[in-house]
């Protein structure tokens, strides 16, 4: 609790630093579009271990205004406190519906597993906004969702059954421990996120930027990171399609036909994570505060191409262990396949 209070005080100190962005151009709106994001370790040969971050699926809609901006009024009230000024730069908006699933290593064990990360799932709706100019981007995201729903068990079991039938094999086995997931039966949750990214070096064919973000809610943490791109660049520096389902970059932006390779890396300090430690509802299996790693790393590399309004990315992602539990491995790898289309 003391660490969490120190973390929150630090956030309150840092918030004013986001204010005062200079207005460089009239506000412009991004056009309509959509994105489909899929994370799976199946995409990496030899890494399909079906553990830790087992799968993520996201569907994003880019929209200026309309019924999908269901969190718009609440976001508008938050914006002044995080330095978001829609009069500065270009404004981008999106709506993201996504789910993420986590499991321990031994999914065939029907008993509670206390020496590895617990089963956890999240189904969420996020409303995201970014104000950006050529050298800086400030984003704010409000996420609402539910932990512990039964859909994660149903989807993973169905995928494993389909995989067995396709291969004529007894593997992969069905998961048998989802009844021990965090907040089993369902519990509402929420998170506010603020991100600031700045380009500090660039030429016609490469750019470098640094970024930080703050999260408050069921995940309370902060990160700093570096991003780099190289190739034929037509989109903004902050639109690297890194980890879009979890805590990656905000809203993809298109700038014409392009082809580039990219890399991103972050260090994150963690105060609290409900998907490990549990939330308000009692959970049979949780991770004690002393077993949660407070400093984490994650990274990714990928190749992105854009043509005729489409953008396609193939990514390779990695992260360090989030706990000190004896059966938790030191790192985890997964692949990402992301496709977006913008109409304007």
Q: Would 27 be classed as within a structural domain?
A: no
DSSP character for 239?
Answer: G
Q: Would 204 be classed as within a structural domain?
A: yes
The rounded radius of gyration (Å) of the Cα atoms in the chain is 20
Q: Would 106 be classed as within a structural domain?
A: yes
Q: Would 83 be classed as within a structural domain?
A: yes
Question: Are 106 and 113 in contact, with CB atoms under 8 Å apart?
Answer: yes
Which CATH number do you get for residue 130? 2.40.128.140
Q: Is the peptide bond before 84 cis (omega within 30 degrees of 0)?
A: no
Using CA atoms in the order 60, 65, 67, 68, what is the torsion angle rounded to 10 degrees? 20
Q: Would 25 be classed as within a structural domain?
A: no
Can you give the residue range of the structural domain that contains 329?
Answer: 2-17+46-342
Q: Would 304 be classed as within a structural domain?
A: yes
Rounded to a whole number of angstroms, the distance between the first and last alpha carbons of the chain is: 48
Per-residue pLDDT of the chain (344 residues), as tens digits, is 445 445 544 544 444 444 444 444 434 445 688 999 999 877 777 666 678 898 999 999 887 655 555 555 666 676 676 666 666 667 788 889 999 999 998 898 999 999 999 999 999 999 888 888 888 888 888 899 999 999 988 888 888 888 788 877 777 788 899 999 999 999 999 999 988 899 999 998 999 999 999 999 999 999 999 999 999 998 888 889 999 998 777 666 667 889 999 999 999 999 999 999 999 999 999 999 999 999 999 999 999 999 988 999 999 999 999 999 988 888 889 999 999 998 76
Residue 271 phi, psi (nearest 5): -100, -35
Helix intervals (H) in 34-173: 72-78, 151-167
Q: Label residue 268 exposed, middle or buried (CB < 10 Å: 0-12, 13-18, 19+).
A: buried
Entry pTM: 0.86
In sign, the C-alpha dihedral spanning 140, 142, 148, 149 is negative
Q: Would 41 be classed as within a structural domain?
A: no
| The total number of structural domains that make up the chain | 1
Q: Which of 301, 180, 182, 317 is nearest to 245 (CA)?
A: 317
Which residues, in sequence order, are CB contacts of 29 under 8 Å at separation 6+?
64, 90, 91, 93
Q: Would 31 be classed as within a structural domain?
A: no
Give the tokens for residue 259.
Answer: 């082809």
């Amino acid at each position: 609790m003391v660490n969490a209070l120190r973390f929150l005080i630090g956030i309150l100190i840092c918030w004013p630093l986001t204010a005062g962005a200079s207005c460089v151009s009239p506000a412009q709106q991004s056009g309509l579009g959509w994105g489909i994001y899929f994370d799976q370790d199946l995409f990496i040969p030899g890494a399909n271990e079906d553990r830790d971050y087992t799968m993520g699926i996201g569907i994003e809609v880019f929209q200026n205004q309309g019924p999908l901006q269901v969190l718009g009024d609440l976001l508008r009230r938050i914006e002044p406190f995080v330095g978001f000024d829609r009069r500065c730069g270009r404004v981008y908006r999106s709506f993201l519906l996504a789910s993420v699933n986590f499991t321990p290593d031994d999914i065939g064990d029907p008993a509670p597993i206390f020496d590895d990360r617990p089963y956890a799932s999240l189904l969420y709706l996020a409303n995201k906004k970014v104000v950006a100019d050529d050298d800086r981007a400030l984003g704010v995201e409000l996420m609402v969702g539910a932990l512990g729903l039964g859909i994660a068990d149903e989807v993973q079991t169905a995928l494993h059954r389909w995989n067995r039938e396709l291969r004529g094999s007894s593997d992969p086995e069905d998961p048998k421990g989802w009844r021990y997931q965090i907040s089993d039966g369902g519990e509402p949750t929420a998170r506010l996120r603020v991100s600031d990214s700045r380009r500090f070096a660039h030429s016609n064919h490469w750019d470098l930027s640094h970024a930080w973000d703050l999260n408050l809610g069921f995940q309370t943490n902060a990160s700093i990171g570096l991003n780099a791109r190289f190739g034929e660049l037509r989109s903004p520096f902050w639109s690297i399609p890194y980890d879009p389902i979890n805590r990656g970059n905000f809203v993809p932006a298109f700038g014409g036909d392009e082809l580039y390779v990219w890399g991103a890396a972050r260090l994150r300090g963690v105060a609290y994570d409900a998907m490990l430690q549990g939330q308000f509802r009692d959970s049979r299996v949780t991770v004690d505060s002393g077993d949660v790693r407070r400093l984490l790393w994650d990274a990714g590399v990928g190749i992105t191409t854009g043509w005729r309004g489409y953008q396609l990315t193939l990514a390779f992602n990695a992260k360090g262990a989030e706990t000190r539990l004896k059966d938790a491995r030191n790192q985890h790898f997964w692949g990402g396949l992301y496709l977006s289309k913008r109409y304007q």
